[in-house]
Structure 1
């Protein structure tokens, strides 16, 4: 099996080097790498050139159109039997491709997704963000499960792959920015292809480097869910409303604390229990008091930013019927 690894890149030359270095360590070597520079002002061409003797690698530059269409650009030029796409802020374990190849020999999949976790080299904030996006105590943990909120597994594009046949039938990404991976995986399911999680195909995903960036990203995820709801109404499930419920609960706690009442005490107790669960779960996973404290912040951002984003666009697009140009 020959893999084509496709990496969209936009103004992140510092990240691509670490990703490519991890690909040079792969124990399974039947693959090519296509880096698609999506109109970057700070390109990585010189860095890519430095890997010419270590990888079967190709560099392309195109006008900016977003990561979805950048991946399509790579699909059109790839030679592989199977297309894998990573985000530029990922580090790939040395046996990733070998484990994936072995899995396909036992159970072939038309499309797959893999989980992510924090690398030991990540900063405390990055580890906390990784916790918020993968913990069972937040809705972020759904993405690493065999079945997602809709009862089917929907892989995320930071660690995802499709067969050449899937690309030819689906014609790749129809959306280019936020939600493009969900839209593609929904269409893959609709066409009857076999799609599932490959648990052993994990990557180390840096995500955002600050809580401000993380808030902005998750807020856009909440907005994206409304866009997907308008395209595919049956994909909105109860679990997508949990961040909204949590955000409403925080507002309720604030209001109750303005008054001295038994309800305020009970609400504060429930919130404290949740905070302690996050703290000790993260402490067990990360073995760090600092990361455990930061995980509380990351988890609250993961829920409230999504909740605010969803409510914002639901009110504008569904209730008020406003036509919004979604450039997240």
Structure 2
């Protein structure tokens, strides 16, 4: 059995997946220990042709499964049902990885024996001022930063689907995510807490989250100080 299945729900995001895989090629972790499992939720932008023709430069294990459009929760459930790993890790398609990401997760799991876990999201130095401003507003400890993985916060940490992992046994015990288009990860995290599993924040296992948030001109200008 593989140790990790990194499950990524995809819907018309081939461009994002290309950037995600470019960063994944630099992950500092043994290739035989993990896979990337993409769940295509009915894309019409050529994703299937791209992923089936993808040639990894570092021997990444990649595969994809396909379904009719049912939403991200159902896509992630489909991924868990087909995953080969002992742990399932969910990442959004608009994320990229620092090289140490999976190594950091692995080290903390060996030390703390988490049954569910997550890491923060942040911005890459290459992101636009607007994306950096959106990241700041969403990860501030006075906003949703506590639930998203900030050390100093006013809220309880809830692993979120942009950077969230569980042991296979959690899925086998409590089942998958609900069918909500939004918020299914928060509901899933609450059910994990309610079931008594050990949940941990792995603070240094962050991802670069590009986000697809669109803003009005006035809101965007206020965020970037114009």
Per the alignment, do residues 156 and 20 of structure 1 end up closer, same or farther by CA in structure 2, a change over 3 Å counting? Answer: same
Alignment of 1:262-277 (within 5 A): none
Rounded Cα–Cα distance in structure 2 between residues aligned with 1:37 and 1:134: 28
Q: CA deviation at 1:16?
A: 0.5
Q: CA deviation at 1:198?
A: 0.7
Conserved in 2, the CA contact under 8 Å of 1:7 and 1:35? yes
Residue 215 of structure 2 is matched in structure 1 by 211
TM-score, normalization by structure 2: 0.89
Residue 294 of structure 1 is matched in structure 2 by 223
Residue 141 of structure 1 is matched in structure 2 by 145
Rounded Cα–Cα distance in structure 1 between residues aligned with 2:114 and 2:105: 10
Provide Cα deviations, 1:95-152, integer angstroms capped at 9, x if missing partner.
111111111111111001110111011111111111111123x4132222358766x4
Residue 80 of structure 1 is matched in structure 2 by 85
- The answer on 1:157 being equivalent to 2:161 is yes
Rounded Cα–Cα distance in structure 1 between residues aligned with 2:123 and 2:150: 17
- The answer on 1:100 being equivalent to 2:105 is yes
Higher strand share: 2
Q: In the alignment, which of 90, 94, 105 is matched to residue 95 of structure 2?
A: 90
Conserved in 1, the CA contact under 8 Å of 2:9 and 2:39? yes
Q: In the alignment, which of 136, 149, 155 is matched to residue 131 of structure 1?
A: 136
Residue 11 of structure 2 is matched in structure 1 by 10
With CA pairs under 8 Å and 6+ residues apart, which has the higher RCO, 1 or 2?
2
SS of the residue 1:6 aligns to: strand
Q: In the alignment, which of 186, 191, 195 is matched to residue 191 of structure 1?
A: 195
Per the alignment, do residues 33 and 3 of structure 1 end up closer, same or farther by CA in structure 2, a change over 3 Å counting? Answer: same
Rounded Cα–Cα distance in structure 2 between residues aligned with 1:96 and 1:159: 10
Conserved in 2, the CA contact under 8 Å of 1:65 and 1:176? no
Select the structure of larger CA radius of gyration. 1
Conserved in 1, the CA contact under 8 Å of 2:163 and 2:207? yes
Conserved in 2, the CA contact under 8 Å of 1:3 and 1:81? yes
Q: CA deviation at 1:210?
A: 3.2
SS of the residue 1:211 aligns to: coil
Rounded Cα–Cα distance in structure 2 between residues aligned with 1:187 and 1:147: 24
Alignment of 1:1-328 (within 5 A): 2-29=3-30, 30-53=33-56, 54-136=59-141, 138-142=142-146, 143-145=148-150, 152-208=156-212, 210-212=214-216, 294-295=223-224
SS of the residue 1:64 aligns to: coil
- For structure 1, the 5+ residue unaligned runs are 216-290, 298-328
Provide Cα deviations, 1:222-247, integer angstroms capped at 9, x if missing partner.
xxxxxxxxxxxxxxxxxxxxxxxxxx
SS of the residue 2:85 aligns to: coil
Q: CA deviation at 1:46?
A: 2.6
Higher helix share: 1
Provide Cα deviations, 1:242-263, integer angstroms capped at 9, x if missing partner.
xxxxxxxxxxxxxxxxxxxxxx
TM-score, normalization by structure 1: 0.62
